[in-house]
A and B are shown apart, each in its own frame.
Chain A
Amino acid sequence: DIQMTQSPSSLSASVGDRVTITCRASQGISNYLAWYQQKPGKVPKLLIYAASTLQSGVPSRFSGSGSGTDFSLTISSLQPEDVATYYCQQYNNGPWTFGQGTKVEIK
């Protein structure tokens, strides 16, 4: 199985800050990576697929980058509604696997 490791596990930042979450795959996955946002008590929501393509309706302050084994999700200006846990998911090889999550809070 391909292991997905996210860092940090949690972070606290101020409104308006630039926030970056990283996701590392245990082997190369090209750009077959998705990012999800899960707000407290809610369903995961697809934010980004193919490492950098924004899902329809997702605010442009979210962006993704990377290829191979190293990926990142950036929130350019953190907003209160961005408080959530973020997960990466690889879909290069089955079984499809998720990172352990990064919890984002407002300072």
Chain B
Amino acid sequence: QLQLQESGPGLVKPSETLSLTCTVSGGSISSSNYYWGWIRQPPGKGLEWIGSFFYSGNTYYNPSLKSRVTISVDTSKNQFSLKLVSMTAADTAVYYCARQGRASGHWFDYWGQGTLVTVSS
């Protein structure tokens, strides 16, 4: 059974950089059939796609966040990471990692449990 697990700090100071890691078990992030992505959800609000990557190195970012986001991958650890710079209170959210279909369709079928990140001094 595929499982994803986010890890990282729960509290980040304004202007600092958020670094989160998603560890995947029960499947390989090097699969040619899937993208792997990050989605966030501010408290009490809806879902926002942050970005996705394909194991070969292609990355895709939401233009609204593109200037501040980097997604990287460590295939040896079956992990991928999110880096978001210049954090503000508006970035306070639950951050999810998820598997995303590739050729078949770009829906998100497996999600991590999510990690709440609060931006506060």
Task: Please give the residue numbers on chain A whose beta carbons come within 8 Å of chain B beta carbons, in ascending order.
Answer: 1, 32, 34, 36, 43-46, 49-50, 55, 87, 89, 91, 94-101
Contacts and interface: CB of A to CB of B under 8 A. Distances in A.
B109 A95 contact: no
Contacts, number: 52
A44 B111 contact: yes
B47 A49 contact: no
Most buried by B among A1, A44, A96, A101: A96
B111 A43 contact: yes
Contacts of B112: 43
B111 A95 contact: no
Given A43-B96, A43-B113, A44-B111, A97 B105 contact: no
Contact of B47 (A1, A45, A55, A98): A98
Given A43-B113, A95-B63, A95-B64, A49 B107 contact: yes
Contacts of A50: 105
Contact of A55 (B109, B111, B113): B109
Contacts of A95: 49, 61-64
B100 to A, nearest CB: 8
A36 B46 CA distance: 12
A70 to B, nearest CB: 19
B84 to A, nearest CB: 16
A96 B105 CA distance: 11
B80 to A, nearest CB: 17
Nearest to A91: B106
A94 to B, nearest CB: 6
Contacts of B114: 43
Given A43-B113, A43-B114, A44-B111, A98 B48 contact: yes
A46 B48 CA distance: 15
Contacts of B62: 95
